[in-house]
């Protein structure tokens, strides 16, 4: 596609529910990133894939958070047993090459509200 696509755009969940957030990167981009952005703050790194390999998941806040990219394209971020502190915008980004000045292309995010 023309850009990074994320769905749903908005998600409301009751506390304790599981949610799945989808990211469609730009076609051909090998690297994919997930970030979490709390209200009024900058994005915080969650995890990073190169193709289907998850190379860094150090930012995942707990074992309730799980990300996958089984075929090296679409990625899903899953949050189990959601808590109110999980409310945030979840941003996905992709990039085409692993060079120092390579910019990330971001999607518009999924705004998750946990009630």
Q: Enumerate binding residues for another protein (CB under 8 A).
A: 3, 31, 33, 35, 40-45, 48, 50, 55-56, 58-59, 89, 91, 93, 98, 100-101, 103-109, 111
Smallest gap from residue 6 Cβ to another protein (A): 9
Q: What are phi and psi of 67, to 5 degrees?
A: -125, 150
| Residue whose C-alpha is closest to residue 67's, from 85, 84, 45 | 45
Return the number of other C-beta atoms located less than 10 Å from residue 25's C-beta: 28
Which residues 6+ apart lie within 8 Å of 53 measured at CB?
A: none
Q: Which is nearer to another protein, 74 or 104 (CB)?
A: 104
Both tokens of 77, joined, read: 């971020």
Smallest gap from residue 17 Cβ to another protein (A): 23
Q: Which is nearer to another protein, 9 or 15 (CB)?
A: 9
Give the angle 30-33-34 at the CA atoms, nearest 5°.
150
Q: Which is nearer to another protein, 49 or 73 (CB)?
A: 49
Q: Which is nearer to another protein, 55 or 115 (CB)?
A: 55
Q: Which of helix, strand or coil describes residue 86?
A: helix
Smallest gap from residue 72 Cβ to another protein (A): 15
Smallest gap from residue 100 Cβ to another protein (A): 5
């Amino acid at each position: 596609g023309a850009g990074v696509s994320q769905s749903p755009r908005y998600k409301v969940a009751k506390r304790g529910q599981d949610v799945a957030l989808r990211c469609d990167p730009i076609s051909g981009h090998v690297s994919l990133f997930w970030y979490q952005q709390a209200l009024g703050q900058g994005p915080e790194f969650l995890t990073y894939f190169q193709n289907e390999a998850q190379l860094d998941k150090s930012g995942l806040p707990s074992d309730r958070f799980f990300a996958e990219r089984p075929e090296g394209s679409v990625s899903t971020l899953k949050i189990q047993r959601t808590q109110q502190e999980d409310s945030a915008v979840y941003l996905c980004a992709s990039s085409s090459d692993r060079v120092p000045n390579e910019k990330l292309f971001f999607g518009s995010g999924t705004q998750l509200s946990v009630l």
